[in-house]
Amino acid sequence: MATSTDSIEELTNQDYKYGFVSDIDAEAIPVGLDEQIVRTISAKKNEPDWLLDWRLKAFRMWQTMTEPKWHNVSFPPIDFQDMIYYSAPKKKPELASLDELDPEIKETFDKLGIPLDEQKVMAGVAVDAVFDSVSVATTFKDKLAELGIIFCSFSEAVQEHPELVRKYLGSVVPASDNFYAALNSAVFSDGSFAYIPKGVKCPMELSTYFRINAAQTGQFERTLLVADEAASVSYLEGCTAPMRDENQLHAAVVELVALDDATIKYSTVQNWYPGDKDGKGGIYNFVTKRGTAFTNAKITWTQVETGSAITWKYPSCILQGDNSVGEFYSVAVTNNHQQADTGTKMLHLGKNTRSTIVSKGISAGMGQNTYRGSVRIGKNAKGARNFSQCDSLLIGDKCGAHTFPYLEVRNTSSQVEHEASTSKIGEDQIFYCRQRGLSTEDAVNMIVNGFCKEVFRELPMEFAVEAQKLLGVSLEGSVG
Amino acid sequence: MLEVRNLHATVAGTEILKGINLSVKPGQVHAIMGPNGSGKSTLAAVLAGRDEYEVTEGTVSFNGQDLLDLEPEERAREGVFLAFQYPVEIPGVNNAYLLKAALNEIRKHRGESELDAMDFMAFVKERMSVLQIDQELMKRPVNEGFSGGEKKRNEIFQMAVLEPKLAIMDETDSGLDIDAMKIVSNGVNAMRSPQRSIVVVTHYQRLLNYIVPDFVHVLSGGRIVKSGGKELALELEAKGYGWIDGVAEPVGA
């Protein structure tokens, strides 16, 4: 009879099913990065001067910065001059209707299970599809416009709503924030933009699907989401990439602005190519995500991170206004040679601000999974409360789980609670399920899904089902 | 139903079972008794197919099949059920979910259609009332935060839903107060049928006041050293295991 450990290895050997490459005529700029490249990107996108200046300032800042080293992941140095910073499908992305979309691209998204046909789209989800560096299609735009909701590509927003972009761009994540945010600010190519006007509840889920296709290309998209006073929106984000032997860099920035009484729910299912089982290839996912919540506003980040060779991301909340609420629910899976250093920052500035952190890390194979969280409660944040729970689950005996919580409380009326646990999927648990008739694989899926339940129930329904399946696929071969 | 012949098994290189012979016919209830460390739980674990136990000699046939050749889940689907001495907790997975998945695996194996959530709930409700199981228990995570009695009752409840051909109860009475023991025993007795065999593994005779066995076997030093009818259990209660061991030693040595 096989031992549990052997079977763990068997189960982890599952192919990445989004690993195909689409044959698209793409327009790319020369390899490398200098000021001229930044100007070229800006010119290609026909940007106003203020935005070019903003990019150039970021670029100069980036040149003076060094890569962060504090994370608990290791990888060979990245050569930032050996990368293409812009790639776009050749056909002009501005389309009168979705029918004009390059059939190859459309097929790509169909293969990914993301139909861009409005009739066929899952009920109540508007999709913005970003292919390599460019947004190629946005569905349900007209319907949303009737309510005054703007949902379009970032480039289009720059042209059509420059006042909104100018007001909020960099207001949450300034270019100077960190090395990768500065890089993104200099070279970002596209992304999604959404604005929900005062008092409007967005009637459908907004979503962006990111797809990296071209080789040797970095993807630097930028998402900006503004919920005006008392508005509310739920936003979903999904990502996939082809299987390639070399590592590809993805350095995105997401900024959320929740004005007074507004609610933003931001859910991510990240499934970038994780590399093969020997750790070759895969996406380096270095992402800065942050939201500012004003008075009585609420921001919820939910993420299911199953892909990428390296994940480096900390969706955070600045709880600026009194009574504002920040939440972070995370499932991060590392299998084979994947590494993740992920968590959140909750910065309590306003009075009676509340934050909740629930992090579930799952390590299998040789995976290394780190939770890094920072809760800072300012002097004026009287009555602030935080609850953090970090649980780690180990599958097999070659993986690792690490937890780095930082707590900083500067007043005496606040409450901070932190709970952490590390457990191993027990052979006892697996045997118990098998004795009831379940296969080892089903048993592991069930146990892991049970472990992640508190996070999955925060996801919109369709996404939760998707996430559960994805988790099953990611861990297939990890136990047997 | 179950034929165990000259079964030897080791754990981490130490031989625990040293030649067990046991024959269980359909409809029979057998009690396996013995002092701590005699190999009772090992026997139960080997029959269920636990990985850590290595069978070094002997055969086990179950309805004509080589049981030792089957994976644990295949044994379960064939109708072998083990009521665990220490039922395992599975946080976040509710009881109904596990049980529905298990039942459907078994039904699939039997060539029956899978039950949907509605049919499943209707099916289990009836079983719950027999065992005085609170419906709330179905929604709670598997065994998490259950009292000792609740865990054991849950095992019997699972057995009642899965309707095994052979049920092995591993020290189901341990940690139960008298009321819980009555409920559990009633559940087991309700499961007795001419088609089903039950093997009750226990340290104490008192469970056998409620679940009356057809045969009693005394296990000592990895062998069955004495077999008899239900009156053997009473004799053991009166005289203790030392009496048997005394008889057994020369034979076994």
Q: Do A1 and B97 touch (CB under 8 A)?
A: no
Top mean pLDDT of A96-105, A135-144, A245-254, A311-320 is at A311-320
Provide the shortest C-alpha distance from residue B60 to chain A (in Å): 16
pLDDT above 90 (res A203): no
Minimal-distance CA residue of chain B relative to A450: B92
pLDDT of residue A119: 46
pLDDT above 60 (res B93): yes
Q: Do A432 and B88 touch (CB under 8 A)?
A: yes
Lowest mean pLDDT among A209-213, A332-336, A360-364, A458-462: A209-213
Contacts of B109 in chain A (CB under 8 A): 437
B145 touching A, CB under 8 A? no
Contacts of A451 in chain B (CB under 8 A): 91-92
Q: Do A453 and B92 touch (CB under 8 A)?
A: yes
Name the DSSP letter for residue B69: G
Contact between B29 and B192 under an 8 Å Cβ cutoff? The reply is yes
pLDDT above 60 (res A92): no
- B253 exposed, middle or buried (CB, 10 Å; 0-12, 13-18, 19+)? exposed
pLDDT of residue A118: 53
B62 confidence band (pLDDT: 50, 70, 90): very high
Between A426 and B226, the more confident residue is B226
Tell me how far apart the alpha carbons of residues B204 and B172 are, in angstroms, rounded to a whole number. Answer: 11
Minimal-distance CA residue of chain B relative to A1: B51
A115 confidence band (pLDDT: 50, 70, 90): low
Interface test with B, best of A6, A389, A425, A433 (most B CBs within 10 A): A433
Between B123 and B106, the more confident residue is B106
pLDDT above 70 (res A120): no
Minimal-distance CA residue of chain B relative to A6: B51
pLDDT above 70 (res B186): yes
Tell me how far apart the alpha carbons of residues A425 and A396 are, in angstroms, rounded to a whole number. Answer: 8
Provide the shortest C-alpha distance from residue A295 to chain B (in Å): 35
Q: Do A437 and B141 touch (CB under 8 A)?
A: no
pLDDT of residue A179: 93
> Measured at the alpha carbon of residue A367, what is the angle toward residues A361 and A370, in degrees to the nearest 5?
45
Between B158 and A18, the more confident residue is B158
pLDDT of residue A89: 62
Average pLDDT over residues A430-443: 94
Lowest mean pLDDT among A9-13, A208-212, B78-82, B233-237: A9-13
Tell me how far apart the alpha carbons of residues B214 and A175 are, in angstroms, rounded to a whole number. Answer: 81
A335 confidence band (pLDDT: 50, 70, 90): confident
Q: Do A438 and B48 touch (CB under 8 A)?
A: no
pLDDT of residue A153: 86
Q: Is A79 in a helix, a strand, or coil?
A: coil
A123 touching B, CB under 8 A? no
Q: Which two tokens stand for residue B206?
A: 């008192």
A449 touching B, CB under 8 A? yes
Average pLDDT over residues A181-203: 93
- Residue A292 host element (H or E): strand A282-293
B110 confidence band (pLDDT: 50, 70, 90): very high
Lowest mean pLDDT among A105-109, B36-40, B175-179: A105-109
pLDDT in tens, A355-386: 999 999 888 888 888 999 999 999 999 999 99
Contact between A297 and A259 under an 8 Å Cβ cutoff? The reply is yes
Tell me how far apart the alpha carbons of residues B13 and B53 are, in angstroms, rounded to a whole number. Answer: 9
Q: How much of chain A exceeds pLDDT 90, in percent?
A: 42
pLDDT of residue B248: 46
Other beta carbons less than 10 A from residue A158's beta carbon: 23
Between A278 and A354, the more confident residue is A354
Provide the shortest C-alpha distance from residue A378 to chain B (in Å): 35
Interface test with A, best of B73, B82, B94 (most A CBs within 10 A): B73
pLDDT above 70 (res A171): yes
Contacts of B82 in chain A (CB under 8 A): 435
B53 touching A, CB under 8 A? no
pLDDT of residue A69: 87
pLDDT of residue B104: 95
Picking from A434, A453, A454, the nearest residue to B72 by CB comes out as A434
Contacts of B72 in chain A (CB under 8 A): 431, 434-435
Provide the shortest C-alpha distance from residue B28 to chain A (in Å): 22
Q: Which two tokens stand for residue B156?
A: 């019997």
Question: Closest Cα to residue A250, out of A396, A104, A74, A130?
Answer: A130
Tell me how far apart the alpha carbons of residues A22 and A308 are, in angstroms, rounded to a whole number. Answer: 20
Tell me how far apart the alpha carbons of residues B213 and A340 are, in angstroms, rounded to a whole number. Answer: 57
A195 confidence band (pLDDT: 50, 70, 90): very high
Between A396 and B44, the more confident residue is B44
Computed over every residue of chain A, the mean pLDDT equals 83
Contacts of B48 in chain A (CB under 8 A): 435
Contacts of A435 in chain B (CB under 8 A): 48-49, 72-73, 75-76, 81-82, 84
